[in-house]
Amino acid sequence: MSRTIGKISFPLPEGSHFHEMIDVRAPVEFAEDHVTGAINLPVLNDEERCLVGTIYKQSSPFDARKIGASLVSKNIAAHLDSHFSTKGRDYRPLLYCWRGGQRSGSMATVLNDIGWATTLIDGGYRTYRTHVNETISRKSEELSLIVLNGFTGAGKTLILKSLEKSGHQVLDLEAMASHKGSVFGGDPENPQPAQKRFESLLFDRIAPFDPTRPVFVEAESSKIGKLNLPNPLWQQMKQAPVVEICSPLESRAAYLTADYREWLSDPGRVSRTIDRLKGFHADKILTEWKLMSERGEWEELVTLLLSEHYDRRYSVGGSGSFERPSFTLPLPAHDPASIEFCAAELVEKSSSLFTPAVVS
């Protein structure tokens, strides 16, 4: 006799154990976002999902269910012959689809009938998204943030990485967004995630944070590339105490030239990006910057971009989105020893800025 298919809700109960979490939605849905750690075994691929949906809306729901059942059965059979073929008697899968309904239920029925203890996420991905949004909102209000501000290339990200390495709580938004937060910050080899995926990565990061300890974060705008920061987090960042990292122009230019070395090796890409600065600078200046890129005068070009574009448009003195810096830390160079020293000094001096949250 087949056992009853179990159901479980988010957040997953502490101590719950499953060998795999399986997202049965179409690949395009999975790519947009998914529960971190889940694998994708679609019961309908992208084209099949579109076909069934079109027939359902434009022709006949009955025909759509018939065709859908045939396609789902075929795909589940393929997964049984491949992915599930090596699973043992004690295998325990956890499944979900969009709402925890037909797609995940179809696969769960087959797996359960085989004899595997199968569990469905009640409400599917939709309940996970609700949990993500609620957690980000609640945790954002609980966190005691300390914002690192400073001119472009000051080394804020390097300091965050040093803090994280030494065990401090760090929120590296640029890493999660796959973008360095400027017009030159995109990476075509590592494109930005979808908005929902970005929020899931943010959820994964802040959910375990201890509100009785500070969280260090870099000053960002409300958008990082194409992605929006969740408003509760953005509002908390704007109210948080600020520490300014101050680094000389020469050191910032040398660091950014090295950091963007691969990016700068494509003059055509650099030229197209410089075109995005029209309206900020005269055409004559933009043309000269393009010629510098063609000549490979990278550090000279980066120095001019910093001094003539970024530094003129970026305020670190409290007149922008963030509070006035409580104090300034010098970073004379971007070598490992200087970064570690600055990070340690930041921890020591910022203790006076931190007020542990009161968690009910």
Residues recognised as catalytic: 97
Q: Would you give the distance in Å from CA 273 to the centre of its chain?
A: 23
Is cis: bond before 11, omega within 30 of 0? yes
Query: Residue 118: which of 6, 242, 278, 234 has the closest Cα?
Result: 6
Residue listed under structure tokens 């956890």: 94
Strands 39-40 and 20-23: parallel
Question: Strand, coil or helix: what is 213?
Answer: coil
Pairwise CA distance, residues 339 & 160, whole Å = 10
Token pair, residue 112, equals 């359960």
Q: Which residues contact 201 (CB under 8 A, 6 or more apart)?
A: 36, 176, 193
Phi, psi of 96 (to 5 degrees): -155, 155
DSSP code per residue over 14-30? TT---SEEEE-S-HHHH
Rg from Cα positions in the chain: 25
Query: Residue 237: which of 127, 165, 136, 133 has the closest Cα?
Result: 136
Q: Are 144 and 159 in contact (CB under 8 A)?
A: no
* Kind and range of the H or E run holding 246: strand 242-246
Pairwise CA distance, residues 72 & 26, whole Å = 11
Q: Would you give the distance in Å from CA 42 to the centre of its chain?
A: 24
